[in-house]
Amino acid sequence: MLLLLTIIGFLTISSCWSEIFSNNHPKNLSQAIIVGVKKCGTRALLKFLSIHPAIAVASTELHFFDSYTNFQHGLQWYRAQIPINRSSQHIIIEKTPSYFINKSTPLRIARLLPDAQLIIIIRDPITRAISDYVQLRNRHRFYPSFDDWISSSNFTQRTPVKIGCYAQYLRRWLKYFPRNQMHFVDGENLIHRPWEELEHVQTFLNLPVRIHREDFYFNPNKYGFPCLRQTNGCLGLNKGRRHPVIANQTRNKLNDFYLTCNAELKRLAQIDFSWI
C-alpha cells in the first residue's frame, strides 16, 4: 500500500511538472511574488501595492509552491486563484510568507516562473520574533513571558527565533535566482515611511510611481501604524498589536545570536538597512 501511494504521488507530481513545462509562456500567473517574511509586513505591503492601477493582487495566500497538496492540483488550479490580468494591469502579485523558509519553494518557482520578480520584506529580527511571539500568545492563553521564553537553553531552536536568521534561508533562494531578481523591503521603514519603500518596489517592478506620501496617514488607534486614505484602508484588528517590554538581558542575548546572521544577510542581500 505504501509503495502504491508513493507511485501515485510521484505520477501526480510528474503530471504537474509535465503540465508546467508544456506551456512555455504561462498566462495569468504571478509575475511578482512576495515570498516572505512572516511577521515582517507582507500583508501591509500587498495592501499598499494593490492601489497601484497597474497591479492586480491575489486576495488570499495561495500556498501553492509550499503545499504538497496544493501543488498536486497543478497549474490550472494555480491559474484559477490568480486575478485576471486586465489590459490596464501589467503585474500580478501573490504573497505567501511561508514560501521564504520552505525548502521546496525556490526550486518550484524557478522551474515554473524563472523570470519572476521576488519581493522579500524583512525587519529587525528581534522585533519580528516578538511579533511572532505575540501572535502565538494570543492563541494560547497560558503562555510564558517572552523573557522566560528566551531564557530557555534551546531558545535558538524556537521557530520564531530561527526565522529571523534570514541568511540561512536566503542562501537557498540564491541557488536558483540571481540577486537582480530580488528586491528587499525594509519592514521597519515600511511602518514609518511606507511611501519610500513603495517607491523602491514600484521602481523594481519597472512601473511608474503612482503611490505617494499623500496616500497614507498614521492611525493612533493602531499604535501609529500607516493606513491608506481610502475605505478600509487600515489592516484588520489582529494587526498592530502592542508588544511587551522585554528585559535588557533578553535583548542582549538575541542581539548576540543575530549578530553573525545579520552580517551574512548584509553580504548576501547587498543591503545596508539601519537595523543590520
Q: Catalogue the active-site residues.
A: 39
- Closest by Cα among 244, 227, 223 to 235: 227
Q: Is 41 annotated as a binding residue?
A: yes
Q: Is 241 annotated as a binding residue?
A: yes
- The DSSP-derived string for 216-236 is EEEEGGGTTEEEESSTT-S--
Our CA angle for 256, 185, 195, nearest 5°, is 130
Contact between residue 204 and residue 118 where contact means Cβ atoms under 8 Å apart = no
Q: Is 39 annotated as a binding residue?
A: yes
Q: Is 131 annotated as a binding residue?
A: yes
Please give the Cα distance from 197 to 185 (Å, whole number): 6
Contact between residue 13 and residue 67 where contact means Cβ atoms under 8 Å apart = no
E strand or H helix at 245: none
Q: Is 239 annotated as a binding residue?
A: yes
* Measured CA distances, 191 to 68, 124, 215 (Å): 34, 12, 14
Please give the Cα distance from 101 to 231 (Å, whole number): 34
Q: Is 233 annotated as a binding residue?
A: no
Q: Is 42 annotated as a binding residue?
A: yes
Please give the Cα distance from 246 to 241 (Å, whole number): 15
Please give the Cα distance from 126 to 111 (Å, whole number): 34
Annotated binding site for 3'-phosphoadenylyl sulfate: 39-43, 123, 131, 239-243
Residues within the annotated binding site? Answer: 39-43, 123, 131, 239-243
